[in-house]
Structures are given as structure tokens and as C-alpha cells.
Amino acid sequence: MSPSCGALGVGWRRNQECYAPPPVSRDATTLEALAVGESAEVTAVEGPNRMAIRLLEMGFVPGTRVELVKTAPMGDPVELCLRGYHLSLRRAEAAHVRVVRR
């Protein structure tokens, strides 16, 4: 995260894209790569500003535990459980959430 970025837990700047550091361990991945029943902890959110902000508003803040509950028959969308509620996301959106498997 550059010094000019905001304090949202992502490399965030107005009217630009958000970038998170690449995974540094083999357990670090994106949310879309999890298997059904796997849990992970959010480490960062990346992507275009509107998408990153919306994902943060939905509760994907660093430190949050997320579990992939199930996938649709064709594999997209996926159902996630976080902060006591269930949420469905497209895999393309889930790819913007960096996580560490737990």
C-alpha cells in the first residue's frame, strides 16, 4: 500500500483501482479458489474502487473469517458465510478478495 492510499485495508485511491499485495505463502489465495467447506481469513480487497468499497461494506474487511458454504450447480455464484449471515457472490467478484486459508 502506498503512502497516499487511504486506511481501508486496501491500496485505495479515489478514481483509481485498488491493489493488494500478491500472496506471500502457499495458504494465501483468493476467495474464489476456496473449496466447499473451507474457511479463510480476509487479508485484503482489490479491484476497481466501487467494487472494493462495496465488498468492504458487505463485511469483507481484513481479519474477517469466511466460509464457502456451497456453489451453484454450474459453479457460479458461490454462497459464503461471514459475520453471521450468508451471502452469494459471483466468482469474478470473489476473485477480488484475498484470503489466507485457516
**The pLDDT of residue 32:** 87
| Whether pLDDT at 12 is above 60 | no
Could you tell me which residue, 21 or 93, shows the higher pLDDT? Answer: 93
Distance CA 7, CA 44 (A): 12
Sheet holding 78-82, edge to edge: 28-30, 97-101, 39-45, 65-71, 78-82, 85-89
| Whether pLDDT at 6 is above 60 | no
**What domains can be seen in the chain, in order of their start residue?**
17-101 (2.30.30.90)
Chain mean position to CA 92: 11
**The pLDDT of residue 89:** 92
Contact status, residue 55 vs residue 15, Cβ threshold 8 Å: no
**The pLDDT of residue 80:** 94
- Per residue in 33-85, pLDDT tens? 899 999 999 999 988 888 889 999 999 999 999 999 999 998 889 999 999 99
